[in-house]
A and B are shown apart, each in its own frame.
Chain A
Amino acid sequence: MIVAKNVHKSFGHLEVLRGIDLHVKEQEVVVIIGPSGSGKSTFLRCLNLLEEPTSGEIIIDGMCLTDKTSDINKIRQNVGMVFQRFNLFPHKTALENITLAPIKVKGLTENEAIAIARDLLGKVGLQDKESSYPDQLSGGQQQRVAIARALAMKPKVMLFDEPTSALDPEMVGEVLAVMKDLARDGMTMVVVTHEMGFAREVGDRVLFIDEGKVIEEGTPEQIFGNPQNERTRSFLNKIL
Chain B
Amino acid sequence: MELLQIWKDALPVLMVGLKLTIQLTVLAVFFGSIIGLFVGLGKMSRIPLIKIPSVVYVEFFRGSPLLVQIFLIYFGLSQVLGHSVDKFWSSVAVLSLNSGAYCAEIFRAGIQSIERGQMEAARSLGMTHTQAMRYVILPQAFKRVIPPLGNEFIAMLKDTSLVSVIGLVELARSGQLIVSTTYNAFQIWFLVAIFYIVLTVLISEFFVNRMERRLQAGDRS
Interface residues of A (CB under 8 A from B): 48, 50, 73-74, 76-77, 79-81, 83, 85, 87-92, 100-101, 104-106, 133-136, 146, 149-150, 153
Known: A91-B140, A100-B135. A73 touches B126 (CB 8 A): yes
Known: A92-B219, A105-B131. A83 touches B121 (CB 8 A): yes
Per the 8 Å Cβ criterion, residues 25-84 of B in contact with A are none
- With A and B bound together, what is the CA distance between A146 and B125 in angstroms? 11
- With A and B bound together, what is the CA distance between A149 and B127 in angstroms? 13
| A50→B135 contact, CB < 8 A | no
| A104→B127 contact, CB < 8 A | yes
Q: Which residues of A contact B127 (CB under 8 A)?
A: 73, 101, 104-105
Partner of B124, one of A74, A81, A100, A134: A81
- Cβ of B168 under 8 Å from chain A: no
Q: Which residues of B contact A48 (CB under 8 A)?
A: 124
With A89-B118, A105-B125, A105-B131 known, 20 other A-B pairs at CB within 8 A are A48-B124, A50-B120, A76-B126, A80-B124, A81-B121, A83-B120, A87-B117, A87-B120, A88-B121, A89-B121, A89-B122, A89-B136, A100-B125, A100-B135, A101-B126, A101-B127, A104-B127, A133-B220, A135-B221, A149-B125
Q: How far is the CB of B34 from chain A (nearest CB, A)?
A: 22
Interface residues of B (CB under 8 A from A): 115, 117-118, 120-128, 131, 135-136, 139-140, 143, 218-221
Partner of B123, one of A50, A88, A104: A50
Closest-by-CB residue of A relative to B115 is A87
| B124→A79 contact, CB < 8 A | yes
| A87→B118 contact, CB < 8 A | yes
25 contacts between A and B (CB under 8 A): A48-B124, A50-B123, A50-B124, A76-B125, A76-B126, A77-B126, A81-B120, A83-B121, A87-B121, A88-B121, A89-B122, A89-B136, A90-B220, A90-B221, A91-B219, A100-B125, A100-B136, A101-B126, A104-B127, A104-B135, A105-B127, A106-B126, A133-B220, A136-B220, A150-B125
Closest-by-CB residue of A relative to B127 is A105
Q: Which residues of B contact A150 (CB under 8 A)?
A: 124-125
Q: How far is the CB of A154 from chain B (nearest CB, A)?
A: 11
Q: Which residues of B contact A80 (CB under 8 A)?
A: 124
Q: How far is the CB of A161 from chain B (nearest CB, A)?
A: 10
| A105→B135 contact, CB < 8 A | no
Q: Which residues of A contact B131 (CB under 8 A)?
A: 104-105
Q: Which residues of A contact B221 (CB under 8 A)?
A: 90, 133-135
Q: Which residues of A contact B220 (CB under 8 A)?
A: 90, 133, 135-136
Closest-by-CB residue of A relative to B219 is A91
- With A and B bound together, what is the CA distance between A135 and B122 in angstroms? 18
Q: How far is the CB of A84 from chain B (nearest CB, A)?
A: 9
- With A and B bound together, what is the CA distance between A50 and B136 in angstroms? 17
| A90→B219 contact, CB < 8 A | yes
Known: A85-B117, A89-B136. A101 touches B219 (CB 8 A): no
- With A and B bound together, what is the CA distance between A90 and B221 in angstroms? 7
Q: Which residues of A contact B219 (CB under 8 A)?
A: 90-92, 133
Q: Which residues of B contact A91 (CB under 8 A)?
A: 139-140, 143, 218-219
| A153→B120 contact, CB < 8 A | no
Q: How far is the CB of A141 from chain B (nearest CB, A)?
A: 15
Closest-by-CB residue of B relative to A146 is B121
| B126→A153 contact, CB < 8 A | yes
Q: Which residues of A contact B125 (CB under 8 A)?
A: 76-77, 100-101, 105, 149-150, 153
- With A and B bound together, what is the CA distance between A53 and B120 in angstroms? 16
Q: How far is the CB of B116 from chain A (nearest CB, A)?
A: 9
Q: Which residues of B contact A81 (CB under 8 A)?
A: 120-121, 124
- With A and B bound together, what is the CA distance between A100 and B221 in angstroms? 19
| B126→A83 contact, CB < 8 A | no
- With A and B bound together, what is the CA distance between A80 and B125 in angstroms? 7
Q: Which residues of A contact B128 (CB under 8 A)?
A: 73
- With A and B bound together, what is the CA distance between A79 and B15 in angstroms? 63
4 interchain residue pairs of minimum CB distance: A101-B125, A77-B126, A87-B121, A87-B117
| A74→B139 contact, CB < 8 A | no
Q: Which residues of A contact B143 (CB under 8 A)?
A: 91
